Amino acid sequence: MALVVGMVFDKQTGSGVPTWVWLSLLSLSVVSSLCFYRKLVVQSVLILVAVVMLGGTLMSMKQASLEVEPPWGKKDYTAVVASSPKLNGKALKCDLLVMINGKPMKTMATIERDYDADNLKPGDGILFTSYLNVPANGKKATFDYRSYLLNNGYLATTYIHTDDWCRQAAVMGKLPFITRLKLSALQFRERLLQKYKELGFDDEEYEVLAAMTLGQKSAMSAELKEDYAIAGAGHVLALSGLHLSTIYVFLTLLISVRRRLWYIISQVIIISAIWAYVFIVGMSISVTRAAIMLTVYSLVSMLNRDRISLNTISLAAIIILACNPLTAYDVGCQMSFLAVLSITLFYRPIFYLMPFKWRGILPVKWVWGMFSVSTAAKIGVLPLIAFYFHRISCYSPITDLVIIPLVTVILYGTVLLLLTGFFPLLQAIIGAILIYIVYLLNSFVSSVARLPGVSIENINISLTQLIIAYGVLVLLILLCRYMYKQYVQYKSRRILRIASEN
């Protein structure tokens, strides 16, 4: 929290505090904390102040790196396509790595649609003539598009007409190694998507499977996305902790070992496979965040520590924010951490509300456990959903009882589908089964989306109301913990009194 406070303060001041000032205050705080080593309370406060200064320093440095103005005027540029083009009306949108003075600059490009544009893929090189513009908001825009672009690393925007570009050999040698690796992974993803089509996936089944397993949502229709959002199932389309956890569990069961040394080796293999998958799906913020959390989870498990704790969640957050301070303003990042934090705090109390005699029945325990996880996550993210999306899905915890098992089967089935490439007949059978399961999932979501009272729309809450909502939630948590502590003490005194009387 101290790290975030420093980052938010620097962001809200619009980089009004120079980096050297933050560094000076950071150094002063660190030296002061060392001087008060005998006064632990004072030293602890100074350490927190130092962390606040560190957050301000990191955010100031990040924002300084974004203050790059592209050359003005209409010029010729060479670029590499860095994402799969997405249909946007009569044009296509994609990421370009435009070479400026020998260095790549991430640019949001809009390209007029034609046959050649429709066949652009990640890794393709182009030569175009156009203007590069600094990210800006429209005159009547209600959404802060400029901040969105800058927070996601875009330093320029451009519009390219049909006759103003042509293909050329991609200049890959000038790109950083990680960028080249990412582009190679995206090219591999295109081959996997083509494999889906060859196996008979088309229309809505292909759209959902491509989004759910490979993070390719550009093909999804607006109607299908809206159905998933209204039904409260939009989280299954965004690659995140649910998907990576499923893959992690699958690989753990596949190469599970008991010996300590082999267990460590197996965990290294599994985490390497997870990160390879992250590169394949494009290294979006949400999936990268989930991979970092799983890596921390794996490391603490190898150290025989508590795998899911507040310390583990905090460590993952610190790593992510240190790598990119602007992630603190990403909606997906906020929702992901609040969901995990909420599950950590509320899952057990909700789960133990059911009497033990019912929890002892395995099917009931499994269903109630899934409901408890879903409800616990929703408690933490509900105010945030209302704030950002102005909508609350009323049936979400109940629909998750159907959706999550189907999604789990789809994810496991997709892994088997790709692993059975050497057995065409078996692969075709698995593909046919998957098509039917995805069809069932889409049908269920569409049916739920048309039920009466499925969502509460047009919710408008201010930032102040959002902070108050989470403040009330924190107070309720503290109250419940206090009441539970008092109840335990009461039970202990009663047992002691009965024992003394006997």
410 or 142: which leads in pLDDT:
410
* pLDDT band, very low/low/confident/very high, at 141 (cuts 50, 70, 90): low
Could you tell me the two tokens for 461?
Answer: 């809450």
One-letter amino acid at 56 equals G
- At 98-116, the pLDDT tens digits run 888 878 888 999 999 888 8
The stretch 476-490 carries a mean pLDDT of 84
Q: Check whether 317 has a pLDDT greater than 90.
A: no
Please state the length of the chain: 502
Q: Check whether 258 has a pLDDT greater than 70.
A: no
> Distance (Å, rounded) from C-alpha 196 to C-alpha 185?
17
* pLDDT band, very low/low/confident/very high, at 256 (cuts 50, 70, 90): low
- Can you say how many angstroms the Cα of residue 101 is from the centroid of all Cα atoms in its chain? 33
Could you tell me the two tokens for 244?
Answer: 């990576």
- At 170-226, the pLDDT tens digits run 877 778 888 888 888 888 888 888 888 888 888 888 888 888 888 887 777 778 888
- Can you say how many angstroms the Cα of residue 478 is from the centroid of all Cα atoms in its chain? 29
Q: Check whether 241 has a pLDDT greater than 80.
A: no
Which has the closest alpha carbon to 168: 129, 128, 131, 109? 128
Looking at residue 272, its pLDDT comes to 87
Q: Check whether 28 has a pLDDT greater than 90.
A: yes
> Distance (Å, rounded) from C-alpha 339 to C-alpha 337?
5
The stretch 65-91 carries a mean pLDDT of 81
- Can you say how many angstroms the Cα of residue 91 is from the centroid of all Cα atoms in its chain? 27
Helix/strand/coil for 105: strand
Looking at residue 197, its pLDDT comes to 86
Question: What CA–CA distances, in Å, run from 319 to 51, 61, 179, 277, 314?
Answer: 14, 16, 20, 20, 9
> Distance (Å, rounded) from C-alpha 54 to C-alpha 32?
15
* pLDDT band, very low/low/confident/very high, at 30 (cuts 50, 70, 90): very high
* pLDDT band, very low/low/confident/very high, at 29 (cuts 50, 70, 90): very high
Question: What CA–CA distances, in Å, run from 317 to 34, 62, 276, 352, 417?
Answer: 26, 17, 21, 29, 34
* pLDDT band, very low/low/confident/very high, at 268 (cuts 50, 70, 90): confident
Q: Quote the percentage of the chain above a pLDDT of 90.
A: 13
